[in-house]
Amino acid sequence: MPDKKNVLVLCTGNSCRSQLMHGYLTKYLGEQANVYSAGIETHGVNPKAIQVMQEDGVDISHHTSNYVDEYADVPFDYVITVCDNAREACPVFPSSATTLHHNFPDPAKATGTPEEILNQFRAVRDQVKTYAQDFTQRYFS
CA distances (Å), origin 59, targets 21, 23, 111: 12, 7, 25
Catalytic option among 52, 83, 97, 124: 83
Catalytic option among 9, 11, 50, 128: 11
CA distances (Å), origin 112, targets 10, 16, 34, 127, 135: 27, 18, 37, 20, 32
16 is catalytic: no
Catalytic option among 90, 117, 118, 123: 90
CA distances (Å), origin 75, targets 5, 86, 88, 96, 109: 9, 19, 21, 8, 33
**Residues tagged active-site:** 11, 83, 90
